[in-house]
Structure 1
């Protein structure tokens, strides 16, 4: 079966859980040792391995040798206990002690960080800081029966009918964006790594910060998705027919937008060269021209691609951007992250970029 932007297949049913995509499949690759992240195989097979010394070394010819097959722990060379009997398997090797687990993957460590973020209360009001984050009710939902999503005085107002009209107009762009948009269901960090290369090995603290941003964004996006329960655009206009399975959770805010923008804000904070006021490595400031920030442009692009697929309204993307902006200061208050100068995660991540300098265009 084919949709307006290409074939529809069983792969689409994954839908990457929309926001679990944002875990970016890195954990799975870490575990399998793929993509140079230094992990181990997904499983370790242990069979029967021949001993290095033949059992009949006095045989006249090598072709007559045979070797004992060894399981693990290896029982050859044979070790005897004090009575002359072979040692029990658990005594072949000595045990050892270590004080703590040292092999947290960035994704799993980020899940643990989420409890720190969710519990942070710095306002002396006996409630978590994130509870104070506010988004407006989207158009035509339970508490907003109008056709407008209003982000406040002096802020954008999104007319629902205009949004639907725009999304229908974007259908013709699906073929061009499809490959990229499908990749972004499974990896977001990877697209920021494409702008400026960094990996778990080269920039471990930066990589960890990105994963922290992902889980926080997922948590907040799903909180508000459940709160507002906005239908997906294709539930309101049959012409949209997304070329992927429609994600099985509400539309507002866009989790992809929230994730991408929070990653961008975090990276912008640590990718600095210390060269005066305009020290953001990824930001270009030219007199008389708009400020260009490659990280922000990528976040906007990721969010826009979801609109092209027909699974998000533009106002969903705007809400995700605003949600990320509100979440970022709270992330920086968390004890394991903290502001610059406290020798925590932000400082360690910024130090990884100390040798990178921006050059005027």
Structure 2
């Protein structure tokens, strides 16, 4: 799990909860901040003196070429030297391991011979030059993008359109769903505070349920964060395909309690992401953890709260649950883990079981390493 631990330090713990902004598909509303700036008089655009390189020949006595940087207060049309020309004209950088460089940069003169003093320091500093060029400061948010790219390139997450389309009601079914939403309006006062909090983040609710924090279970929190990102990637893909109108577009009397997100309704982002978080948590939690029976009920509750707000039809939530199950299977296939049957009620999963992690995993992807690290947090090695 070194790739995820790296030099992130506190960044992972801090980013873990902050990344809840990827929740639902409300993140797409972030562009509203720009509109606010424009409405108040426009964005500031400072202009400085920006450097521009050229490769120039030194005087005839020297005969060599060198890289010269000149400042320009505004963009100008002028060809840039090629990278090869720049590298050929630029002497290698040795830190400050050059006495003349030290003198030129203001290194204080020694008591007897300043060049000797500079040379001694230059020789000492040479010992501290890096021996390899490998970045060690990856933050989790950026590693999550890498993990999403690995998953998106290899998994079958784009092949679920047929299964989802089967849940999309016809006009009569939609009319019945609008009637259902009208009945749910009566619950808004009681649920609005909770629903608005879940609009900003669902991970804190799962943390409270299972009893962990970003500090106590960093990798588990990161796994939940990555689940949100994968869920959002997939849900936006299918929202664009189905392009279903929001309920309030067909029935304005629903008067949603919050601004309607700037994307289509089907499937529900909150339903998809909360169910995916629940299933992945079930994979890493101990088999008899007391929160296990409540993981899916919490996901259902989060999804229904979005219906109460007037943002989603019931079928949006059901489709989100289905998509989460399909994505969960895609993830397990991708990392080489084997699913196990949970407690079923007819065709409905009530209590998910933990997936089997192979002794010799075939996948070395970032997602596989994160799953294994999160599981180890709940299953410490026995001595």
- Summarize the Cα distance change of 1:175–1:106 in structure 2 as closer, same or farther, 3 Å threshold: farther
Match of 1:131 among 135, 158, 168: 158
What is the rounded CA distance, in whole Å, between the counterparts of 1:21 and 1:103 in structure 2? 29
- Summarize the Cα distance change of 1:280–1:84 in structure 2 as closer, same or farther, 3 Å threshold: closer
- Summarize the Cα distance change of 1:176–1:347 in structure 2 as closer, same or farther, 3 Å threshold: same
1:19 paired residue number: 24
Which structure 2 residue ranges, 5 or more long, are not aligned? 1-20, 31-104, 339-355, 362-368
Kindly indicate whether residue 282 of structure 2 is the aligned counterpart of residue 282 of structure 1: no
1:82 paired residue number: 115
Deviation at 1:131? 3.0
1:4-58 Cα offsets, whole Å, 9 max, x none, are xxxxxxxxxxxx68635579x9xxxxxxxxxxxxxxxxxxxxxxxxxxxxxxxxx
Deviation at 1:109? 1.9
Partner of 1:130: helix, strand, or coil?
coil
Corresponding residue pairs, total: 253
TM-score (norm 2): 0.58
- Summarize the Cα distance change of 1:21–1:147 in structure 2 as closer, same or farther, 3 Å threshold: closer
What is the rounded CA distance, in whole Å, between the counterparts of 1:77 and 1:182 in structure 2? 59
Deviation at 1:319? 0.3
Which structure 1 residue ranges, 5 or more long, are not aligned? 1-15, 26-74, 121-127, 141-145, 149-158, 274-278, 284-292, 356-361
Once the two structures are superposed, the pairs formed by residues 221-236 of structure 1 within 5 Å of their partners are 221-236=235-250
What is the rounded CA distance, in whole Å, between the counterparts of 1:251 and 1:163 in structure 2? 13
- Summarize the Cα distance change of 1:164–1:116 in structure 2 as closer, same or farther, 3 Å threshold: same
Would you tell me which structure has more helix in proportion to its own residues? 2
4+ residue runs of structure 1 moved beyond 4 angstroms? 20-23, 75-81, 83-88, 91-95, 137-140, 335-339
Kindly indicate whether residue 263 of structure 2 is the aligned counterpart of residue 249 of structure 1: yes
Contact 2:256 2:309 in 1 (8 A): yes
Once the two structures are superposed, the pairs formed by residues 1-361 of structure 1 within 5 Å of their partners are 19=24, 82=115, 94-96=128-130, 100-120=134-154, 128-133=155-160, 134-136=163-165, 139=168, 146-147=170-171, 159-273=173-287, 279-283=288-292, 293-335=293-335, 340-341=357-358, 342=360, 344-354=369-379
What is the rounded CA distance, in whole Å, between the counterparts of 1:354 and 1:336 in structure 2? 19
Return 175-184 or 322-331, whichever deviates more. 175-184
Contact 1:264 1:296 in 2 (8 A): yes
1:178-201 Cα offsets, whole Å, 9 max, x none, are 221121122111111111232333
1:291-331 Cα offsets, whole Å, 9 max, x none, are xx211111111111111110000110000000000010111
What is the rounded CA distance, in whole Å, between the counterparts of 1:226 and 1:130 in structure 2? 15
Partner of 1:129: helix, strand, or coil?
coil
1:203-257 Cα offsets, whole Å, 9 max, x none, are 2322222122111111110111000000000001111011111100000000111
